[in-house]
Structure 1
Amino acid sequence: MMMSLRKQKNLIAQAIRATNPLNQTTPWYSAAIACLVMSTVSTAALAQEEQDTERSSRSKQPIEEVTVTAQKIEESIQDVPIAVSALSGDSMDALKIERGEELLRAIPNVNFSKSNFSTYNFSIRGVGTKAVSAATDPAVAVSFNNAPLIRNRLFEQEFFDVERVEVLRGPQGTLYGRNATAGVVNMLPVMPEDEFSSEIKAEIGSYNSKRTSGMFNLPIGETMGLRLSGAMTKRDGFDTNTYTDNDVNDRDLYSTRAIFEWEPSETFSANLIWQHFEEDDKRSRTGKQLCTTDPGVSMIGDVEVPENFTGFFSQGCLPGSIYSDEAYGTTNAKGLAFVVAPQALLQGYYPVMKEFLPNPYANAEQSRDLREIATSFDPVFRAENDLVQLNFAWEMSDTLTFYSQSTYAKDDYYSSQDYNRYVSDSIFSDSTEYGLDPGPTPNGIYTDPQLGPSDGVLAVDISRSDNKQWSQEFRLQTSFDGPWNFVVGANYLDFKTQDDYFVFNNMFSLIAEHVYNGVDDPEAGLGTENCTDPQNIEGFQDCMYVDYNSLENIDEEGHNYFLSRNLVETRSWAIFGETYWQINNDVKLTTGLRYTNDRKRSTPVPSQLLLGTETDNDTGEIVPGPASGGLVYKGYPEGDAVTQSWKEYTGRAVLDWRTDTPFTDETMLYLSFAHGYKGGGTNPPRADIDPNVVQYQPLDETFKPEFVNAIEIGTKNVLLDGSLTLNANAFYYDYSDYQVSQIVDRISLNENFDAESMGIELELAWQLTDNTRLDMNMGYLKTRIADGEESIDVMNRTQGHEDWLVVRPSLQVPSNCVAPKDVVEATFAIPYPLMLWALCDTTGRWGSFTPEIESSQYFHEWLNIDPYNPLTDAPNGARGFAADLSGNELPNAPRFTVNLGVEHTIPIEDWDLTLRTDYYRQSESYARVYNTEYDRLKAWSNLNASVSLSHPNSELYMQLYVKNIFDDAPITDMFTNSDDSGLTTNVFTLEPRIVGFSISKGF
């Protein structure tokens, strides 16, 4: 029975209220949403009526056959014994999947989120790229037209003129090889066609969105063809910077593609592809920055901690839930080294700040709206990508074809944004009031060479990358009539990258100019000269070069800013082959083997923040700075290159069986085993400091490669005269040395963990009637980190040990340390509380870790305790207590994912009116391996709908759509920043509700 009109009206009213909770004047998009809801209701009602009264008219129209190249040959997706999903360009238009990040809405057990440094994590079955070092490979091989691209913009540029996108789940140990431990995403463009055609598409929508795209297909004679296509998008920002009153996260990008194809004979064909992408806008790499403020401690044992020193026992932010109201606080910066150092070291000359040891962010307030930020700088994002590919195929005989694919790709990006993500209070005192003319901070303003004048803390970061890749593959493939066939091939990859990450902070420049480069005589005024020669510096001072160029024109030699530079070159070659044995008409055995030779060459470029030297008065030689420990006073010298190599065998074996059953038209069962591999690499170098002044806590300089053994059993079925396809599989992964990163000592430290993953997947497509279709896929996933695995959680270094405290380090040591409470308590008995900085010290110098040097006796005599050596008397060299990871879930691995789509077409004379609704949901997951409440990511869902009107005869197509109907802002992932910036958390979220209308016309 059809739903009553009253119920329909009630549902429409509820939809309007959901989009307009304040009962304001109904906006136009609320009416559009109401129409879509009504359409969905009508669709459900119509489907129910047809089932009740016209069951005999059930469609016998089969589901359209999907052709894929998952095994490097064209074949039906139902004949491929691999868990693979494929979406055509038309399917993606219907689902409004516009970029790679939205593929999760159509594929089971897939997750996606941006990450902190202009990269992304696309994970399949819980396995993704959680390692962000420049030396890491992606676990999911992203390919364009079957060519893997190490760095790419396929998850940022919008899809256009796409034949299909294929997603292969599971390790592809043979054909795709070296780094496809989780799977492959392969985007294939539409190739030139035999007939003249063209299309133009225009779209408008929310946030002043404007899109245009089009293609032009031109046959040239009998043997050649040309296809030109492109797309352009402009829109205003999704987010608002309430401090500058500007929109951020806008988009301004375009893509173009040209494909020339030549087929001079029936046995030879070639094509040349060029693709260009460019973006220049105010898109932010990260979302809002959250923090549950850590106030520090007021009592240690029986000793009261002075108010000004509570910051020494605050890690900045606590590991509280990112969903609590307290998470919208700001970091406690009272103990941050760049705040403490100028105040402590210049206090004898003049108080550089209005109050002693202030918290610059004490009065900063954060909106509870994840789409509102308040920062001093608006973000900048620029990216440019070019790809050139040459393919040819030569049919050497009726049964043997030779393929060649040559690909060159270049990718550059530049991204800048506010680093601290909060607006600082006014903190500087007026230096002229202390007899300085004018001094560093006249009228309470400090002018930074790169960031300009400010009365508070300013900080900006820049992430940029320059990447080049060249690859070549040759492949020989058979098509014998007999039971045996094979494919053999070889490929080569040459990839080079330079990743640079800068942090500019006006406090760094203040320290460089007026602490280290200052002069001893206060009557002469604090030093303002740019140190270009260590002989210019007298007394106990270091000479460190200050770069006075603008932010856009830095000479990249300054020690008044942080630079992490990573130079990595990867060269890889492989030979591979697969055999296909048709044992009988129903059973086939596929076996494949690949030998990969990987070689990585990493050139370390240690950071030099606030490092300087001096000139020895006796010898005139430049020697390490007595205060900073720097080995050079200018520039960033390269260290000795580190070369790593791996020689590994990977492969797969698949047995598939086609059988007849009483309830299916076609059925295939398959059982597969695959072994996958992904190379290891080097961890970035830390600061280049004289170990007699500062020595870091020991960390691994390299990380291991990943390996996975995967077993999968699956079935693919066609039912109801081809109108229903039902595919299902179950899998088990045994993973060795999964790579995961966290920020330690200002570097991305990569660690390895053994783990296992298991799950089931279901995909269904059902043409219910001639006009109604149902799509559904579901995924269940259970991951587990192996027993005995452990790691130090920078958010919880004490792990509940009440006799230990987290202590802030000195300026030159980036990471916090732990110290016994009794030692900390005794420290307050001496007249120099800043000696707290020496609690992680074995030299008597602030913040160093030097086991070779005997502990400072006078320090321990002051404390009246036994000598204390953090490297031997504290857990893990004072880094903290390791967290037990046994049984924890892998990050970004939700237990359940589900996608449900309903589409109904209503013929209206020569027109087709199509109504579609899609719903996606994923269960909760964790952002880090520690699985604490801080790591928990809540479950979230997404509802989209569209109404399309098409006139097939004239190729006219119109669509009204709504994405994220309920305007949800779920946190999809997060990133924990470094100790010395207060352990703040950058979060990433979903795009807001977008309503749009598009129209396209083909010719």
Structure 2
Amino acid sequence: MLNFLLVIPALAKEKTAMQIETITVTAQKREGKIQDIPSSVSVVSDVQLDDLKMDSVKNISALIPNFYVTDTGADQSFASMRGIGASMAGAPTVGIYVDDVYTTFGLDLILMDVERVEVLRGPQGTLYGRNSEAGVINVVTKKPGKQWDGKLFADIGSFNSYQGSAVFSGPIGEKIGLRASLQYGESDGWFENKFNGSDEGGRKEEFNGRLHFSLAASENLNFQLIYDICRRKNPNYANFAFLDQPGKLRKNINVDYMGEAKKNVDTLSLHGRYDFGSYRIVSITSFDKVKAHSANDIDLMPMDMMNLDIHQEIETFSQEFRLMSADKNSPFTWLVGAFLLHENRDTSLGMWMNFMNMGMGMPGESLKDQSDSTTTSGAIFGEATYTFADRFHLTLGLRYDREEQEFDHHRHQPGPVLSMMGKKLENISKNGSHEAWLPKAALRYDLTKGISPYVSMARGFRSGGYNALENLGAAFAPEFTWNYEAGIKTSFLDHRLQCNAAVFYIDWTDMQVEVPTAGGSAFYMNNAAEASTKGFELEIAARPLPGVELFAGMGYIKAEYESYSVGPNIYDGNTIVDVPEMTFHLGGVYRHDSGFFASLLYRYVGDVTIDVANTQKQEDYGLLSGKIGYEGDSFDVYVYARNIFNEEYTTRQFNMQDAWGGRAGEPLVVGTNITFRF
């Protein structure tokens, strides 16, 4: 009898270990369980990031249905979610936030010392406003702990890659906590340049750091002060080649100038929270400064023909206040808030054209442009959820957003050849404003304790702006989307199996598109299309045996232009560019009490249409990655491999008048890393 009683706690512990953890998220600006949120939400925990060796925001697209990143390298990547995509020229459609603060160039963000990444698919305009019409990614970093601890990490891999990081955390006195995170890494890159024999195309050097202070001023009042720093260099930026050349794309770069890219980012934010009675006040103040520079050989040829040089400085200040209910037992929960953003963006562009090498028999000339833009955005918003009849949960929300923009552009006097080509001295000053009402409604029904179907609708928008390269000064208006969604969230087998699914339809109006100039050598932004996307998403997680975790996800999209024409060309019914029809992933993790660890992840990306005429596409591909190692009490050691079968694929294709260029995806990479904890 005594032996039986001693076994009961062990069985209970094993049962709990096999259950899928209850995940609490804050991406809806208040704490909530992921299974209770009436929309498509995915979460990647710190453990999953480590298990699958994912160290950047764009990497996690492998785990998120209908989330796809067009990777151009060096901080110019752009994303689509549910077929709602952006481009290199326009504002993003997926908002990326770190600890509730919007971040610029977020897709290339290194996930250093992160607690979890929350991904919300579909328009999030009510709570986030501008540039979140496709979805939101919310990165939550780790906070200072109540006792001193730390971690040291080292990694070496293919292409002379290495990375090291350190984390220290603990209390400074009774009320102040500190967490410091540092990371530095280098890689030669996987591109080879035929012109000079260099095998360092795509080289990267990067330093990231974070200081996080916490202050418990009283039982009800606390503050968080966070400073983030990033210093990134790509001294050999060249990573594009012509697609029609024989051989492997990554070995076909043949340029006389390798180029470079640099980015410095500094972000300072102050977070305050005060609880009084059944209410809570939240304040988030942030200042962000970005300095970026890129220089490219844009002709992709082994002779000096066309080079492009861009300098950009961005300074952003934002302030948000929220007042919300804090009684978790109340059937009525609510929040209201106000938001202010002020952004200055200065861009200088220089282009060099060597007409002699182009066969025109004339000397080279340069084009110099300077543009300055100021954006001021303000919003008020609110959202409330009411529970009635015990099982129904009705959510209503509304946001009013107003944005004002000022745009100044100066083009220096070009030479005679460029003047004949239509380039001329210009000074342009424009200003304008637009506003948007962004409603949301959702209804969830708790059919049983583990089954909750829901329906929702929401509106999102993407900011407009002014063209600064071609069609100078011409304004393009905001674009809007309506998202209609029905889904179900389920949990079975005593929380050992979880299955979430959703279907959606998105109506896209005043769509911003890149319209080619008459010669087809450049583009400008315009509201030239109407479109729609529809599809479904499925996510499954299971723990069938002790130490075994299985997961899978699938997304399907049919994204079409409803109305789109350029001159005599009509593209109605064509597939929208840069959107894979299908994405799929399947993976698993195994841990044994002995310390043995293994993980495997397969990701499939379907065909991606590249041009609006639907004549060019990126072929489908699949990538297999794995990791194996030993996990001890104070240290872990692993070996890993990405793209195990060395699949050849492209992450970006584009038209260059009579030819197509592209960027090769990462080939087979192998490496090893070790972690020490103290």
TM-score tier, shorter chain, comes to over 0.9
Q: What residue number does 1:668 align with? A: 452
Q: What residue number does 1:906 align with? A: 592
Q: 1:147 to 1:122 in 2, by over 3 A?
A: same
Matched, 1:891 2:566: no
Matched, 1:645 2:433: yes
Q: 1:612 to 1:774 in 2, by over 3 A?
A: closer
Q: Report deviation, 1:609.
A: 3.1
Mapped contact 1:905–1:915 kept (Cα < 8 A): yes
Q: What residue number does 1:943 align with? A: 624
Higher fraction of strand = 2
- Return 210-219 or 983-992, whichever deviates more: 983-992
Inter-partner Cα distance in structure 1 for 2:174 and 2:140: 24
Mapped contact 1:773–1:904 kept (Cα < 8 A): yes
Inter-partner Cα distance in structure 2 for 1:743 and 1:285: 24
Inter-partner Cα distance in structure 2 for 1:241 and 1:707: 43
Q: Report deviation, 1:687.
A: 8.6
Secondary structure of 2:340's counterpart equals strand
Matches within 5 A, 1:155-174: 155-174=107-126
Q: What residue number does 2:501 align with? A: 728
Secondary structure of 1:245's counterpart equals coil
Secondary structure of 2:27's counterpart equals coil
Paired letter, 2:613: Y
Inter-partner Cα distance in structure 2 for 1:239 and 1:417: 15
Inter-partner Cα distance in structure 2 for 1:983 and 1:684: 25
Mapped contact 2:305–2:357 kept (Cα < 8 A): no
Inter-partner Cα distance in structure 2 for 1:92 and 1:733: 31
Q: 1:510 to 1:420 in 2, by over 3 A?
A: closer
Instruction: Tell me which structure has the larger Cα radius of gyration.
Output: 1
Mapped contact 2:470–2:524 kept (Cα < 8 A): no
Q: Report deviation, 1:147.
A: 1.7
Q: 1:285 to 1:102 in 2, by over 3 A?
A: farther
Matches within 5 A, 1:382-461: 382-395=262-275, 397-424=276-303, 457-461=304-308
Q: What residue number does 1:757 align with? A: 533
Secondary structure of 1:214's counterpart equals strand
Q: 1:893 to 1:612 in 2, by over 3 A?
A: closer
Identity %: 26
Inter-partner Cα distance in structure 2 for 1:600 and 1:476: 29
Inter-partner Cα distance in structure 2 for 1:644 and 1:885: 31
Inter-partner Cα distance in structure 2 for 1:685 and 1:463: 12
Give per-residue Cα distances to partners, 1:611-660, cap 9 Å, x unaligned.
499xxxxxxxxxxx9x788876xxxx632x11121111002001111121
Q: What residue number does 1:198 align with? A: 150
Give per-residue Cα distances to partners, 1:4-36, cap 9 Å, x unaligned.
xxxxxxxxxxxxxxxxxxxxxxxxxxxxxxxxx
Matches within 5 A, 1:749-898: 749-751=524-526, 752-786=528-562, 788-792=563-567, 882-898=568-584
Instruction: Report the TM-score, using the length of structure 1 for normalisation.
Output: 0.63
Q: What residue number does 1:930 align with? A: 613
Give per-residue Cα distances to partners, 1:695-738, cap 9 Å, x unaligned.
xxxxx922221111111011111111111111111111111022
Mapped contact 1:611–1:629 kept (Cα < 8 A): no
Q: What residue number does 1:124 align with? A: 81
Q: 1:777 to 1:991 in 2, by over 3 A?
A: same
Matched, 1:502 2:350: yes
Secondary structure of 1:490's counterpart equals strand
Paired letter, 2:355: M
Query: Which of 477, 489, 511 is the equivalent residue of 1:704?
Result: 477
Unaligned stretches of 5+ residues in structure 2: 1-13
Q: Report deviation, 1:413.
A: 1.4
Give per-residue Cα distances to partners, 1:550-594, cap 9 Å, x unaligned.
xxxxxxxxx931234332221100000011111232111110000
Mapped contact 1:955–1:1001 kept (Cα < 8 A): yes
Matched, 1:80 2:80: no
Pairwise CA RMSD: 2.5
Q: What residue number does 1:1002 align with? A: 677
Inter-partner Cα distance in structure 1 for 2:422 and 2:38: 60
Q: 1:218 to 1:609 in 2, by over 3 A?
A: same
Q: Report deviation, 1:283.
A: 4.3
Inter-partner Cα distance in structure 2 for 1:996 and 1:739: 42
Inter-partner Cα distance in structure 2 for 1:140 and 1:82: 16
Query: Which of 979, 982, 985 is the equivalent residue of 2:660?
Result: 985
Paired letter, 1:496: N
Paired letter, 1:407: S
Matched, 1:570 2:375: yes
Matched, 1:209 2:161: yes
Paired letter, 2:354: N
Inter-partner Cα distance in structure 2 for 1:203 and 1:748: 42
Query: Which of 217, 224, 228 is the equivalent residue of 1:264?
Result: 217
Secondary structure of 1:467's counterpart equals strand
Q: What residue number does 2:4 align with? A: none
Mapped contact 2:414–2:424 kept (Cα < 8 A): no
Secondary structure of 2:347's counterpart equals strand
Secondary structure of 2:107's counterpart equals coil
Q: What residue number does 2:602 align with? A: 919
Q: 1:965 to 1:123 in 2, by over 3 A?
A: same
Q: Report deviation, 1:499.
A: 2.6
Give per-residue Cα distances to partners, 1:750-808, cap 9 Å, x unaligned.
1331111111111111001012111101111111211x42125xxxxxxxxxxxxxxxx
Matches within 5 A, 1:97-116: 97-115=54-72
Paired letter, 2:212: I
Higher fraction of helix = 1
Inter-partner Cα distance in structure 2 for 1:724 and 1:184: 26
- Return 79-88 or 474-483, whichever deviates more: 474-483
Q: What residue number does 2:643 align with? A: 964
Mapped contact 1:116–1:975 kept (Cα < 8 A): no
Mapped contact 2:464–2:477 kept (Cα < 8 A): yes
Instruction: Report the TM-score, using the length of structure 2 for normalisation.
Output: 0.92
Q: Report deviation, 1:59.
A: 8.6
Mapped contact 2:201–2:239 kept (Cα < 8 A): no
Matched, 1:482 2:330: yes
Q: What residue number does 2:467 align with? A: 683
Q: Report deviation, 1:971.
A: 1.4
Matched, 1:273 2:222: no
Q: Report deviation, 1:501.
A: 2.9
Mapped contact 1:416–1:463 kept (Cα < 8 A): yes
Q: Report deviation, 1:284.
A: 2.3
Inter-partner Cα distance in structure 2 for 1:510 and 1:113: 31
Paired letter, 1:567: D
Mapped contact 1:777–1:898 kept (Cα < 8 A): yes
Matched, 1:145 2:99: yes
Inter-partner Cα distance in structure 2 for 1:983 and 1:973: 17
Inter-partner Cα distance in structure 1 for 2:108 and 2:348: 20
Q: What residue number does 1:867 align with? A: none
Query: Aligned residues, how many?
Result: 660
Secondary structure of 2:350's counterpart equals strand
Inter-partner Cα distance in structure 2 for 1:740 and 1:115: 18
Q: What residue number does 2:177 align with? A: 225
Q: Report deviation, 1:510.
A: 11
Inter-partner Cα distance in structure 1 for 2:417 and 2:561: 44
Matches within 5 A, 1:557-596: 560-596=365-401
Q: 1:974 to 1:509 in 2, by over 3 A?
A: closer
Q: Report deviation, 1:286.
A: 4.4
Give per-residue Cα distances to partners, 1:421-475, cap 9 Å, x unaligned.
2124xxxxxxxxxxxxxxxxxxxxxxxxxxxxxxxx4443223321111111000
Q: Report deviation, 1:178.
A: 1.9
Inter-partner Cα distance in structure 2 for 1:595 and 1:629: 41
Inter-partner Cα distance in structure 2 for 1:644 and 1:747: 25
Mapped contact 2:74–2:261 kept (Cα < 8 A): no
Query: Which of 509, 517, 522 is the equivalent residue of 1:744?
Result: 517
